Structure 1
Amino acid sequence: MDYQTLLVSVTDKVATVTLNRPDVRNAFNETSIAELTLAFDELGHDDAVRAIVLAANGPAFCAGADLNWMKQMAGYSDAENQADAMRLASMLRTIYYCPKPVVARVQGDCYAGGMGLVAACDVVVAAEGVNFCLSEVKLGLIPATISPYVIKAMGEQVARRYFLTAERFGALDAKRMGMAHEVVVPEELDATIAAIAKALVTNSPNAVREAKRLVREVSGMPIDDAMLADTAERIAAIRASGEGREGVASFLEKRKPSWLT
């Protein structure tokens, strides 16, 4: 479909969703929120897509919420404000629960809600010189809807500082605290993203989907009898699956698995 705020393309089983409002530093409004939700829902269920890259045009990755949109929200009723916030929360959840792996290509500054977008992704690659900031408290707001994802990414103790101070921090600090997996010079950003995407699309699609779900559902759970039973059930099921059987057989027979042919 035609998007007003995004560019979407698919090449070699990798979809690229590009934020395309560079004139407002890719800040999101009700249209971009709806389009991101739709794009990730559709791509997540497209068998031709094995991985998704979330990118942005212009000097900034995402500045958070569009100020004109926020000004408009000031006149909303309580019910309208809640409904609007739920649309943003649903968009972030759609990205986080997307069955396909999502790689964030952070080429420019990432503020406020933009950090929620990044934290909802599975792999984050940032260019050197990029700044991050949870700036909400400067505007009398709080990073509420993005908090589940950002706190998972940076940890509670680090979040205590940056949620409260609204200090900027750089890409290397983001890597140190867990917000970014890789920090590269801008000239190497595309090559790094391409290498990660290639690794993702060469693996079993079903195993990648189940591995993503495994991390999400096992993280933070106690290692008790229920956990042992759950993980045993998961490995037994994947061993008996079509791709599980094919993967083991292709390895033993020294041939490519069917998902690479």
Structure 2
Amino acid sequence: MQYETLNVGFAGQVATVTLNRPDVRNAFNETMIADVTSAFTALNARDDVRAVVLAANGKAFCAGADLNWMKKMAGYSDDENRADAMLLAKMLASVYRCNKPVIARVNGDAYAGGMGLIAACDIVVAVQGARFCLSEARLGLIPATIAPYVIRALGEQASRRYFTTAEAFDCVTALRLGLVSEAVDAQQLDATVQQIADTLCANGPQAVRACKQLVQDIAGRELSDALIEDTAARIARTRAGAEGREGVASFLEKRTPAWRN
């Protein structure tokens, strides 16, 4: 998997997608948007990959949109702007909808669209010195394409504040708001990400995928009879499936389940 703006590597059952434009703080342009979408689409189809790490080279995680790309967009027609925005929206969806859990390895600041990338991930491990900002309003813009993911991550009240003020906030605040799952020293970043990846890979791969889908399908839904029936049907299917049977049998027989061999 060769890309102009990314490095993609594999270690065991874990794939790492690394943003690789450190000279512009990993700001994204049309090429990076296409590369990220392509990489996650490809990883989504691979059964040998059980977890994905989204990382970045350099001092920053992602500074949002590349300035030269933004200058180019200023001359776009309405139709061209809509088409370009849809490419960004599809990139974020490719991360969010990846059927493997995605861990964001946040090595530094994440601004604007970089916040969207983080919010689209399932687990976020960040260095304690990282800062975060939804800076669009400073430029007379709005964080529209990233909003579905950021609002899910921050919640409605915090999103109203940080969308409108465009204030930067620190990792302690990001952790309190739920955007960040773990805040660690820089020296602990890789070990923490690896520990989480190892934990994910020890679980039933089909169950992990189904758990991720379960949260996406059920979050925000009314607790109705239809929802109760849906959840009952899901666990019934899981119990009757080969992986569920193997998991229960291995537990009762005090042996390692087949997916760990």
TM-score range normalised by the length of the shorter chain? over 0.9
Q: In the alignment, what sits opposite 2:62?
A: 62
Tell me the amino acid that sits aligned with residue 205 of structure 2: P
SS of structure 1 residue aligned to 2:61: strand
Amino acid across the alignment from 1:117: L
Q: What does residue 125 of structure 2 align with?
A: 125
The answer to whether residue 94 in structure 2 is matched with residue 94 in structure 1 is yes
- RMSD of aligned Cα (Å): 0.5
Q: C-alpha distance in 2, partners of 1:71/1:217?
A: 38
Query: What is the aligned partner in structure 1 of residue 165 from structure 2?
Result: 165
Give the corresponding residue for 1:75. 75
Structure 1 moving runs of 4+ over 6 Å: none
Q: CA deviation at 1:45?
A: 1.3
C-alpha displacement of 1:12: 1.2
The superposition leaves residues 196-219 of structure 1 with CA deviations (integer Å, 9 ceiling, x where unpaired) of: 000001100000000000011111
Using structure 2 for the length normalisation, give the TM-score.
Answer: 0.99
Q: Deviations over 1:176-230 (max 9, x none)?
A: 0010010011111011001000000110000000000001111111111001100
Counterpart amino acid of residue 211 in structure 2: A
What is the rounded CA distance, in whole Å, between the counterparts of 1:84 and 1:255 in structure 2? Answer: 52
Query: Which letter maps to 1:52?
Result: V
Separation in 1, partners of 2:222, 2:76:
43
Tell me the SS of whatever aligns to 2:223: coil
| Correspondence for 2:228 | 228
Instruction: For residue 62 of structure 1, give the secondary structure of its aligned residue in structure 2.
Output: coil
Whole-Å separation in 1 of the counterparts to 2:258 and 2:41: 26
1:142 partner SS: coil
Identical positions, percent: 64
- Aligned partner of 1:110 in structure 2 is 110
Equivalent residue letter for 2:158: V
The one-letter code sitting in structure 1 at the alignment partner of 2:220 is G
Q: Output the CA distance in 2 between the equivalents of 1:232 and 1:193.
A: 33
Match for residue 156 of structure 1?
A: 156
Report the alpha carbon displacement of residue 2 of structure 1 after superposing the two structures with TM: 1.5
Amino acid of the residue matched to residue 176 of structure 2?
R
Deviation at 1:44, TM superposition (A): 1.3
Match status 1:186 vs 2:186: yes
> The residue matched to 2:115 in structure 1 has which SS?
helix
Counterparts of 1:162 and 1:257, CA distance in 2: 45
Q: 3-state DSSP class of the match of 2:208?
A: helix
Aligned residues: 261
Q: Secondary structure at the match of 2:211?
A: helix
Amino acid at match of 1:242: A
The TM-score with structure 1 as length reference comes to 0.99
- Segments of structure 2 that go 5 or more residues without pairing to the other structure are none
Map of 1:205 onto structure 2? 205
Gaps of 5+ in 1: none
Aligned-partner Cα distance in 2 for 1:129–1:258: 41
The one-letter code matched in structure 1 to 2:85 is A
**In the alignment, residue 175 of structure 1 is paired with which amino acid?**
L
Is residue 51 of structure 2 the alignment partner of residue 51 of structure 1?
Answer: yes
How big is each residue's C-alpha offset from its partner over 1:82-103, in whole Å with a ceiling of 9 and x where there is no partner?
A: 0000000001011101000000
Residue 28 of structure 1 pairs with residue 18 of structure 2: no
The one-character-per-residue Cα deviations of 1:20-66 (angstroms, maximum 9, x if unpaired) are 00000000000100010010111111111000000000000000000
Match of 2:260 in 1: 260
Give me the whole-angstrom Cα distance separating, in 2, the residues matched to 1:168 and 1:72: 26
